[in-house]
């Protein structure tokens, strides 16, 4: 990954193989990214995975009494770069890239000069990967409270059926292929529950613990109720679920990650 997916700036990463509508390498196919492809693009979900991976490899090396210095140094560098993705105003991490043009030829419509790279502001799953993967410091009350507050906002991701993949107020919500542009996915909701449970236990702030537990319990019940309802209605579990009415969408029958509902019911988070 360090060799094939590295960004221009040391310690940054970008998914390769994008098209104008898809970033298939990320697994979140049509989730909106920067409008213009440039080498300066930096993807926050990939950065979060790299931090998560180096932390695991560091722990494995330590258990095996091997040199873990490389993994530790990488993790520290990646975490520093991750901070550049954070939006204090919006309480989420964003991709960094070129999302607009400074000058366009009025006659041909040709882009003559692009804007400088900056936060690509789409509130959704991608920007929450550092939280989903429990990378946020348990002592960081300010950051955690901002994330938790927004997580339960109905105009963003919260719904009575689970967390939407993209904010309801985003201009791309429900548009075009509409695969990762609002649909509710059980695998990412599972990661959200897992993280909420973690911070409800390990956060140093009492208010963060209480709020994490409350959101966890409400989200868990919403997911269980909706999946049971859809199974009774259709006889199947589905690949993903509508953010508007909770109905099953995509492939069916699809146990896959929808079978995580069993672990959710048992609160078995690993």
Provide the pLDDT for residue 38: 87
Assess if residue 262 is contained within a domain. Answer: no
Provide the pLDDT for residue 192: 98
Provide the pLDDT for residue 101: 64
pLDDT tens figures, 39-74: 899 999 999 999 999 999 999 999 999 999 999 999
Give me the catalytic one of 29, 138, 140, 141.
Answer: 29
Question: Which residues does 202 contact at the CB level (< 8 Å), separation at least 6?
Answer: 138
Please name the residue that has the structure tokens 């970008």.
Answer: 14
Over range 93-117, report the average pLDDT. Answer: 76
Provide the pLDDT for residue 109: 65
| Backbone torsion region of residue 84, taken as left when φ is above 0, otherwise alpha when ψ lies between -120 and 50, otherwise beta | alpha
Greatest Cα pair distance in the chain: 65
Assess if residue 238 is contained within a domain. Answer: no
Which of 92, 95, 91, 262 has the alpha carbon at shortest distance from 193?
Answer: 262
Assess if residue 84 is contained within a domain. Answer: yes
Give dist(CA 163, CA 243) in Å, integer: 8
Query: In total, how many domains does the chain have?
Result: 1
Contact 165, 185 (CB under 8 A): yes
Percentage of the chain modeled with pLDDT above 70: 95
pLDDT of residue 103 exceeding 90: no
Give me the catalytic one of 89, 177, 239, 267.
Answer: 239
Contact 173, 167 (CB under 8 A): yes
Domain limits for position 123: 1-135
Contact 162, 144 (CB under 8 A): no
Contact 126, 31 (CB under 8 A): yes
29 an active-site residue? Answer: yes
Per-residue confidence band for 19, with pLDDT thresholds at 50, 70 and 90: confident
Assess if residue 2 is contained within a domain. Answer: yes
Provide the pLDDT for residue 107: 66
In the three-class reduction of DSSP (H, G, I as helix; E, B as strand; rest coil), residue 102 is classed as strand
Assess if residue 48 is contained within a domain. Answer: yes
Contact 181, 165 (CB under 8 A): yes
Give me the residues paired with residue 184 across strands. 164, 241
pLDDT of residue 81 exceeding 90: yes
Provide the pLDDT for residue 13: 97
More confident residue, 39 or 171: 171
Provide the pLDDT for residue 196: 98
Q: What is the DSSP code (8-state) at residue 120? A: E
Question: Which residues does 37 contact at the CB level (< 8 Å), separation at least 6?
Answer: 18
Give dist(CA 17, CA 177) in Å, integer: 19
What's the predicted TM-score (pTM) here? 0.93
Ranking 29-38, 43-52, 104-113 by mean pLDDT, the lowest is 104-113
Assess if residue 168 is contained within a domain. Answer: no
Question: Which residues does 62 contact at the CB level (< 8 Å), separation at least 6?
Answer: 68
Per-residue confidence band for 113, with pLDDT thresholds at 50, 70 and 90: low
Provide the pLDDT for residue 216: 98
Question: Which residues does 166 contact at the CB level (< 8 Å), separation at least 6?
Answer: 31, 32, 122, 123, 124, 125, 157, 172, 173, 180, 181, 182
Per-residue confidence band for 142, with pLDDT thresholds at 50, 70 and 90: very high
Assess if residue 216 is contained within a domain. Answer: no
Could you tell me whether strands 111-114 and 101-104 are parallel, antiparallel, or unpaired per DSSP bridges? antiparallel
Assess if residue 60 is contained within a domain. Answer: yes
pLDDT tens figures, 212-237: 999 999 999 999 999 999 999 999 99
pLDDT of residue 111 exceeding 80: no
Give dist(CA 73, CA 141) in Å, integer: 26
Percentage of the chain modeled with pLDDT above 90: 89
A 10 A CB-CB count for 62 gives 13
Instruction: Calculate the average pLDDT of the chain.
Output: 94
């Amino acid at each position: 990954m360090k060799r094939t997916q590295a960004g221009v700036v040391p310690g940054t990463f970008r998914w390769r193989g994008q098209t104008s509508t898809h970033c298939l390498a990320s697994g979140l196919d049509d989730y909106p990214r920067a409008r213009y492809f440039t080498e300066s693009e930096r993807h926050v979900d990939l950065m979060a995975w790299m931090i998560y991976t180096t932390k695991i490899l560091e722990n494995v090396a330590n258990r095996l009494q091997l040199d873990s210095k490389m993994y530790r140094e990488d993790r520290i560098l990646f975490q520093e770069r991750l901070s550049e993705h954070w939006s204090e105003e919006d309480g989420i991490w964003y991709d960094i890239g070129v999302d607009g043009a400074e000058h366009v030829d009025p006659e041909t419509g040709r882009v003559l000069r692009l804007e400088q790279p900056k936060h690509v502001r789409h509130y959704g799953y991608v920007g929450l990967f550092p939280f989903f993967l429990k990378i946020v410091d348990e002592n960081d009350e300010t950051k955690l409270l901002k994330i938790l507050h927004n997580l339960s906002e109905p105009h963003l991701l919260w719904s009575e059926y689970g967390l939407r993949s993209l904010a309801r107020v985003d201009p791309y919500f429900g548009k075009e292929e509409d695969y990762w542009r609002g649909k509710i996915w059980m695998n990412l909701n599972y990661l959200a529950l897992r993280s909420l449970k973690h911070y409800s236990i390990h956060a140093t702030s009492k208010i963060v613990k209480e709020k994490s537990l409350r959101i966890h319990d409400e989200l868990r019940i919403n997911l269980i109720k909706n999946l049971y309802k859809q199974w009774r209605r259709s006889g199947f579990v589905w690949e993903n679920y509508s953010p508007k009415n909770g109905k099953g969408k995509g492939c069916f029958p699809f146990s896959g990650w929808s079978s995580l509902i069993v672990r959710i019911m048992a609160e078995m988070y690993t």
